């Protein structure tokens, strides 16, 4: 599957952004989908994920819980990340990722995902 992330940009603290990830070339509904981010000089970190196969199990990093919402639209082959009340520490390149076979227990580990989008920059100014 090929993944294409979009929607990043520059926003002031307290603002909102919506990231989208379009998938092609696979049976999207079967894929476990996640969002990760990587700030300069830091390792890639888990943000949120949603399971496939109709289960739609959701998981969030503690740092974004209550502010970010992940959702998927299997009819449109997209997964989105709605980000509200953004903080300067949310500044990073955001990546969408997918995998057909991982389980919820593996979802926060970027090494568990086989497919990655190209990343989209989110910058939050203070």
Please spell the DSSP secondary structure of 57-101, one letter per residue. -EEE-TTTTTTEEEEEETTTTEEEEEE-S--GGG-EEEEEEEESS
**Residue 103, pLDDT score:** 83
Confidence check: pLDDT of 55 > 90: no
- Number of residues written out for the chain: 126
pLDDT tens string 87-113? 999 999 999 999 998 888 899 999 999
Mean pLDDT of the chain: 95
Joined tokens for residue 101: 């076979």
SS3 category, 125: strand
């Amino acid at each position: 599957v090929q993944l294409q992330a979009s929607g990043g940009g520059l926003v002031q603290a307290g603002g909102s952004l919506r990231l989208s990830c379009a998938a092609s070339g696979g049976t999207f509904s079967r894929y476990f989908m996640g969002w990760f981010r990587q700030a300069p000089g830091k390792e890639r970190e888990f943000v949120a994920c949603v399971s496939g196969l109709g289960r739609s199990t959701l998981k969030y990093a503690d740092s974004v819980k209550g502010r970010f919402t992940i959702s998927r639209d299997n009819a449109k082959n997209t997964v989105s990340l709605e980000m509200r009340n953004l903080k300067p520490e949310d500044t990073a390149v955001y990546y969408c990722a997918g995998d057909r076979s991982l389980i919820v227990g593996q979802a926060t580990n970027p090494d568990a995902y086989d497919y990655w989008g190209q990343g989209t920059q989110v910058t939050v100014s203070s």
